Amino acid sequence: ERLALVRIFKQSLQAPFDATGFESASDQSSRSSGGESFAQNTDDAAAAFDRVEVSVGEPLASVPLVRDALLLFESYIHALPWQRWSGLLQSNYLWPVLLDSAARRAVLQAMLASGEKQFRLQELPELLHWFAAQQKSNHRQTVPAAMQAVQRASKALHGSYRELAQSNAMRAHSKQHATLSQWYDTCAKVLSAFGWPGARSLDSIEYQQREALLEWQAQLWRVDSLQGELDAASALRIFRQQLRSKVFHAQTRRVTGWPPVQVLGVLEAEGMLFDYLWLGGLSERQWPLPAATASLLPARLQAEQSMPGANAASELEYARRTTHNLLYSARQVVVSYLAQQDALPAALSPLLREELNRCKTCRATEFPINTTSAVNDWPVCKAATLEFCQDDYGLALAASTAESHSGKPAVSMQLLGDYALSPLYAYLKHRLCILPVDEPVAGLDARASGTVVHAALEQLFQTLDSQQKIASVNDEQMRQLIATALDKAAVAYSARRYKAIPDPLLQLQLGVLSRRLLAWLAFERQRPAFEVLLTEADIAYDTATLRAQGRIDRVDRLADGSLLVIDYKTGAASMTGWFDQRLAAPQLPGYALALAAQREERIAGIAYGMVFAPEPKLLGIGDEAGGAIEHAAVIESATFRGAGAKSFDALREHWVAAIDVLLQEIAQGYAAHLTAPGKANDYRLQPYAALLREYIDSDSLYAGSAVDSRAEGA
């Protein structure tokens, strides 16, 4: 309800507000002219909002200037979750050396990339040093501007820590004990090192808040002898308790020529007269107030003395009298109430209805609440004629913007796969390098598990490079080989992390992966004879204008000499995307075409290796002669309905044409929001909703859409 009031006043004081209004008949004629004068004085809604005078106090610990200071000191004492760091890094009162938003974002991105959930202030330089090294090793996926932002943030934080070390504040540790005054001195040194209260000049309210904090600090010595020496966490807890109990009242001055809007409590408003009055929180469940007796006094004594809150009857009488006085204290009164409270319907307090029925010269007008689109209430927005322009193209891909080969731009096969599902998603992720934020996970997440499994399988098939060798190894030997491969892969993965995964958790997860790989190799043992030709091999597919680069998980040579291309999957997968007129899954077909261009051997089929499936299998297609995949020889023509092919060879010809079209569109910068028929791919754009002019409804994220469905652009 308060949010609705703020939005409406901030956006347009002429906007229809959602409330029940009471107006005396004598003031109806003056309402129009008064409204025009009111609007003339509020041409700038933001400037008008600055003229609000809040008489209601708030705890000093809650004001942003003090809240951020306490939070920074807390981060110096112990680790904070990254969610709290997200707000702290955007503080207007800290980090003057990190004024540009890119450097602040770099710190948060380093936190998210580390896989850790909590961080201390002291470890930020080390974290940024690690993140910078990661960006250098992944230079293909890193924008130069992002690397520069990390370097600026790292340099700035190192400077702050040097200043902190020179002030001798670093000697204070969370386990040491000191008095409250001494701990505040340490807190002040930490705040000074990181730029509190900011580089800009404080406004009047902020200056008063700082003075109130210094006034409180000057009295801390009085309680040193009572509290004794405390650790840092206890001192911070007392700081917060005392600052919550200290109420801050801003001292404002009246603006000449236009009275400020005053926000008052009920007791402050009694006996006053207003030009306009807004009464909030008057639902039947909020007004009259429930009786609240003082716990330290006998209830009978409170009732006999008619003390406030003694019984329901006295509260009802007080509310009835206050309602009458307030409704007649202004020319125009607006009453608002919640239509729903605690998931239950609510209505206007009966006291208001009762008073309205008594008034013979009052007129009530009731209209509905609307709190979500205050900006649309601007008359300018309503009257404006908007011109829409459909532009589905971003910047064309030039050789200078990607790794080039023989003068042609080069892209990754992953970009090709993402582009087939949604051109707009691929453009945002790969061309603009805008990556969704992943929640840090303790241990191996799904992506990390896939990385470890791929590395372990690569090592295993360097030793077990044929079906015959796999069959010759017994189960105990296989377990040892798998354990060795997983340990080596996990060590290599952990070396790239900011902090190593705790060994008990890692061993537990590796045990699960070991059982999965044992089941997969048991399936491989039952396959017809084959030899492992390639594992994790770099490959490229060239067209006239573009090169697509990728890495094949594995290539097998079958008994007849033909080749089978395998792509490991540790999650769900479907091969239906290979048969669409516009390919929805072009990566594995692209690998097969690239391999065929490099080798003169026949490609007998392609398949997903379903490693984590309840029953491991190869899910794919092949030609009839090769028998590459059991029960997946020549698929019936109905399967290829979208591609219009009736054989595996005809399907490969379709892949050549379809992938060429996709790569041409990528080179041209095509970035429309297309989704494949029957595919629910809108969920990929959910993290990018802030960049889209089209609101992505959560109900439609998984509903799917037709090929020609488009967002309005980004």
What is d(CA 90, CA 82) in angstroms, rounded to the nearest whole number?
13
State residue 697's pLDDT score: 44
Q: Is the dihedral of CA 433, 439, 443, 444 positive or negative?
A: negative
Backbone angles phi, psi at 478, to 5 degrees: -65, -40
In this prediction, residue 399 carries a pLDDT of 54
CA distance 593 to 565: 10
Closest by CA to 667, choosing from 391, 431, 432, is 431
What is residue 25's predicted lDDT score, i.e. its pLDDT? 33
- CA–CA distances in Å: residue 84 to residues 108, 116, 120, 687: 11, 14, 11, 20
Q: What's the pLDDT band for 310 if we cut at 50, 70, 90? A: confident
Contact assessment for residue 72 and residue 157, using Cβ atoms and an 8 Å cutoff: no
- What is the rounded average pLDDT of the residues 623-640? 45
Dist CA 481 CA 465 (whole Å)? 13
Specify whether the backbone of 591 is left (phi greater than 0), alpha (psi in -120 to 50) or beta.
alpha
Asked whether residue 191 carries a pLDDT value surpassing 90, the answer given is: no
The region of weakest confidence among 124-128, 379-383, 548-552 is 379-383
> Is residue 208 pLDDT above 80, yes or no?
yes
Query: Which residues sit opposite 538 in a β-bridge?
Result: 551
State how far the Cα of 653 lies from the Cα of 596, in Å rounded to an integer.
12
Predicted confidence band at 20 (pLDDT cuts at 50, 70, 90)?
very low
What is the token pair recorded at 539? 């490959």
- Residue 374's closest CA among 69, 688, 13? 13
Consecutive H or E run containing 21: strand 20-24
Per-residue pLDDT for 519 more than 80?
yes
Per residue in 582-614, pLDDT (tens digit) is 888 999 999 999 999 888 888 888 999 999 988
Q: What is the pLDDT of residue 630?
A: 45
**% pLDDT > 70, the chain:** 74
Asked if the model's pLDDT at residue 515 lies above 90, the reply is yes
Top pLDDT among 237 and 41 is at: 237
Determine if the peptide bond prior to 290 is cis (ω within 30°): no
Task: Give Cβ neighbours of residue 360 (< 8 Å, ≥ 6 apart).
Answer: none
Residue 273 CA, distance from chain mean position: 47
Distance of CA 416 to the CA centre of its chain: 26
Band (213; pLDDT cuts 50, 70, 90): very high
pLDDT for the residue numbered 693: 61
- The three-class DSSP label of residue 53 is strand
The model's confidence at residue 706, banded by pLDDT at 50, 70 and 90, is very low
> In this structure, which amino acid lies at residue 666?
I
Q: To which residue do tokens 């409406």 refer?
A: 8
Q: What pLDDT does 378 receive?
A: 43
Range with top average pLDDT, 123-137, 162-176, 229-243, 623-637: 229-243
Distances (CA, A) of 541 to 384, 416, 563: 50, 11, 17
The pLDDT of 625-652, averaged and rounded, is 54
pLDDT band at residue 100, thresholds of 50, 70 and 90? Answer: confident
Phi, psi of 364 (to 5 degrees): -110, 135
28: left (phi over 0), alpha (psi -120 to 50) or beta: alpha
Mean predicted lDDT score pLDDT of the chain = 77
Direct distance between the N- and C-terminal alpha carbons of the chain, in angstroms, rounded to an integer: 33
The whole-number pLDDT of residue 702 equals 36
Contact 695, 689 (CB under 8 A): yes
CA 679, CA 684: separation in Å to the nearest integer?
A: 12
What are the tens digits of pLDDT across the range 244-293?
A: 988 888 776 655 545 567 777 787 788 888 888 888 888 888 888 887 77
The mean pLDDT of 8-26, rounded to a whole number, is 38
Q: In 10 A of CB 120, how many CB atoms?
A: 15
Task: Report residue 123's pLDDT band, with 50, 70 and 90 as the boundaries.
Answer: confident
Which of the pair, 431 or 16, is modelled with greater confidence?
431
pLDDT at 561 over 60: yes
Mean pLDDT of 673-682: 58
pLDDT reported for residue 462: 92
pLDDT of 306 = 76
Instruction: Choose among 494, 416, 417, 418: nearest CA to 455.
Output: 494
The C-alpha atoms of residue 241 and residue 231 are separated, in whole angstroms, by: 16
pLDDT digits (tens, 9 = 90+) for 655-669: 999 999 999 999 999
Beta strands in 65-142 (DSSP E): 80-81, 118-119
The most confident of the ranges 360-374, 390-404, 507-521, 639-653 is 507-521
User: Residues near 580 by Cβ (< 8 Å), separated by ≥ 6?
Assistant: 642, 643, 676, 677
pLDDT score recorded for residue 390: 76
Using DSSP's 3-state secondary structure scheme, residue 156 falls into: helix
Under DSSP, the state recorded for 283 is B
pTM above 0.85, yes or no: no
What is the distance between the alpha carbons of residues 677 and 421, in angstroms, rounded to a whole number? Answer: 10
